[in-house]
Amino acid sequence: MAETPDPERDPRWDAVRRAAARRVPTPPGLVERVLRAVARNRRTAVEVPLETGRLSVTEAVVVRLAETIAADRAPDGVRVSAVAVEDDVVQVLVSVRFGVVAEAAAEALRRELTAELSRQVGTATTVNVHVVDVHPG
């Protein structure tokens, strides 16, 4: 059986190390958006029309459902870091293993999440998947 090379010894990993060493400023408004999201955690995220009325699903339920689906359906080499609902859109932050094609992995997870959330919640849900980190393995 061939030994798997250590990705951290790959010279291409140096670029990742250099990027990680740079201080990244907090984007303007990020703290305020996070605090608003925490404060409205009980806000209704989805209203599903039914024959007998409407079903209201809170943001916390949508987030938990999206976290569960993402953990089960994430492509190999993708780790889910965070899930939130912001402006009625499910936002998913992921890291990908070094060597995984980030754009393709994010799109595959976005399709899976969109389809399964829509199926389970009963209405179309917009999902964005953002690759925010690279991990060695």
* CATH number reported for the structural domain that contains residue 71 in this entry: 3.30.70
pTM: 0.66
In a domain, 2, yes or no: no
**Regions of the chain short of the pLDDT cut 50:** none
In a domain, residue 130? The reply is yes
**Does residue 128 lie within any of the structural domains?**
yes
In a domain, 109, yes or no: yes
Q: What is the domain extent for residue 33?
A: 28-135
The token pair at 126 is 């917009």
Q: Give the model's pLDDT for residue 2.
A: 66
Residue 44: per-residue pLDDT: 62
Domain count, the chain: 1
Sign of CA pseudo-dihedral 101, 104, 107, 108? negative
Decide if 23 is inside a domain: no
Question: Which alpha helices (H) appear in the chain, and where do they start and end?
Answer: 13-21, 30-39, 59-73, 102-121
**Distance between CA atoms of 17 and 8, rounded to whole angstroms?**
9
- pLDDT value of residue 93: 94
pLDDT value, residue 30? 79
